Structure 1
Amino acid sequence: MRDSTPLGGTVVDMCPANCGRDLEKLAEVEKAVDGLQVIATTGFHREHVYLETQSHWVNRYSVTQIADLLIADIEEGIDRHDYSGPIVERTSYRAGCIKVGTAYGKITPFEYKCMQAAAHASIETGAPINTHTTYGTCGLEQAQELKKLGVPADQIAIGHIQRNADIYYLSQILNEGVYLEIDGTYRIKYQPDSNRIKEPRELGEMGYGDRLLLGTDSGKRSYQKAYGAVTGVDYNPAVDGPRMLAEGFERDYVEKLLMTNGQRFFTMRKS
């Protein structure tokens, strides 16, 4: 017999437009797990993810036209065909977050155009922007450019930033008033998990604890327990939380990192 105890929480699925979104499957997962809420995403990944970007529709449409597509994902419903076209068919599932991504050490013209459209959509709808940085580069530039485009600082989260485990650099980004997302759990091939724990400890001591988010970046099948991995989407509460408590973090701060900060950031806030 199925256990009626709530198992879920909130999962933010950061797969953006034209990258294989399947909202029916996502809704199926949400309905199958008691207490689970899924936040779907619109926006764009870094240019490298898209094949033949010279002919991609981002290059053919204006910033306003692209922004209108993102706004429709948020206000009307995400396209069943994931903007792979030419027909657009809206589902009943609306996006609650916008993604932008940049390359390693640079922001390409394609990526900046996507950033402009994302900023317009965020301002229009109040949806937060959660970014992709490549190996933790361009985080400061992302924050500065999005703010120049008019996005409120507290609606911007710079993602994957833990790979750049430079506390001084991370504090410079936080000085812009944005959030930082520390994710990439158990990616030992990049750096030890001790780096990920060091960052919220030291940044918290510097007074930035209210603007730190934890994530897993576990979109690949190979990262899931159901496919044999030792990690999963529960890594932050199941592993990071107990570890932080064992290493002397205050319980209130751990709860802030695991729940409160995310609840505040992933809220639609139209000024």
Structure 2
Amino acid sequence: MLGDRPTESLGRCDYHEHLFQVSPLLSGDELDDEAASGDEAALLVAAGMGAMVEATPTGLGRDPAAVARISARTRLAVVHASGAHREEHYAGDHWLRASGTADLVERFTADVRHGLPARDTADRGDVAVGPSGEPVRAGILKAGIGYWRISPFERRVLAAVAEVARATGVAVMVHLEHGSAAWEVLAALARDGLPADRVVLAHVDRNLDPGLHAELTHAGAYLGYDGMARHREAPDAAILDCLEATLAAGDASRVVLGGDVARRSRYRAYGGLPGLEYLPARFLPRLARRVGGDVVDRLTIDNPAALLALTEGSSQG
């Protein structure tokens, strides 16, 4: 958010969070207060994280200029997303859902190369600027699918992010609803020329299947584990078991960790629990006791740095 830097300098990175997010699916859970979101980011830093990915894509209340100010104030390095979420996050008459693939490519490319819009509108409008007055650019692309479904809109988004990723060198994050359709997403992106090693599959741990996960890592994909602190769906112990088995059978260089807390009611600074600090303060120590601190460093330092680095031969400029 504050300009290009070597990914090796990011330090410990939470690969999936949100500082701003407004969606019709999350009524009453809006993240829309710069001061509160900044305070929450400061808690993440205090708990030991040096960087995060802001995974809010187009049209969902993102505020890039505010995120840049938060980054400067808290010294938290932030990589912002472009792209679009799964279809249900947009009302039926939302302008983005009517966009063709070429329009999406143009919009997402501009976000990466020239700067994110200050406010998401159909005509993009002015570019957001950071505290230094420089444009705030996106450094990762996002797509999303429904539960065992890739709608026509979602297929257009996948095609668009694949094309933009190839041209700019940034990686792609894909929201898998309940961890479904991982192979189908990788196949769709491969048909559009994007290899699995430039893709991180978010929420793969909503389907606790270490055999599947190991196979996906051997295919080259990054796996995003981000389901901790959701005890109604699965206890952290089950996630730890699955992760440990995946690391043993799969490629440990292809796993990244995030919290995806993503709700006003779950942010301490907004009056909720457990907050962004849960991942570094609660989950990582338990994981270190299982697999060792060196493996935790690999998952939170080395692997995110590799994922977020621009592909050699491509350029944002």
Partner Cα distance (2:312, 2:111) in 1: 16
Quote the RMSD (CA, aligned, Å). Answer: 1.7
Aligned AA for 2:122? G
The corresponding residue for 1:23 is 64
Among 197, 202, 215, the alignment partner of 2:245 is 202
Among 283, 302, 305, the alignment partner of 1:263 is 305
**Alpha-carbon deviation of 1:199?**
2.2
Please state if 1:41 is matched with 2:81.
yes
Contact 1:237 1:258 in 2 (8 A): no
The corresponding residue for 1:69 is 107
Partner Cα distance (2:65, 2:242) in 1: 37
Structure 1 regions of 5+ residues with no counterpart? Answer: 1-5
- TM-score normalised per structure 2: 0.78
**1:79-133 CA deviation, whole Å, 9 max, x = no partner?**
1122x23352112100000000000111111100111011111001001001101
Structure 2 regions of 5+ residues with no counterpart? Answer: 1-44, 129-134
Please state if 1:231 is matched with 2:255.
no
Among 208, 228, 234, the alignment partner of 1:185 is 228
The corresponding residue for 1:79 is 117
The corresponding residue for 1:152 is 195
Partner Cα distance (1:105, 1:87) in 2: 32
The corresponding residue for 2:295 is 253
| Structure with more relative contact order (C-alpha pairs < 8 Å, separation 6 or more) | 2
Helix, strand or coil at the partner of 2:259: coil
Contact 1:100 1:132 in 2 (8 A): yes
Partner Cα distance (2:276, 2:141) in 1: 20
Matches within 5 A, 1:111-130: 111-130=154-173
Partner Cα distance (1:113, 1:237) in 2: 36
Contact 2:203 2:225 in 1 (8 A): yes
- Report the more deviating stretch, 209-218 or 233-242: 233-242
Contact 2:140 2:171 in 1 (8 A): yes
The corresponding residue for 1:105 is 148
Q: In the superposition, relative to structure 1, how do residues 232 and 57 fare at CA in structure 2: closer, same or farther (>3 Å)?
A: closer
Contact 1:200 1:209 in 2 (8 A): no
Partner Cα distance (1:214, 1:188) in 2: 17
The corresponding residue for 1:3 is none
The corresponding residue for 2:53 is 12
Aligned AA for 2:166? I
- Report the more deviating stretch, 189-198 or 165-174: 165-174
- TM-score normalised per structure 1: 0.90
Partner Cα distance (1:154, 1:165) in 2: 21
Count of residues paired in the alignment: 261
Aligned AA for 1:79? P
Partner Cα distance (1:225, 1:37) in 2: 20
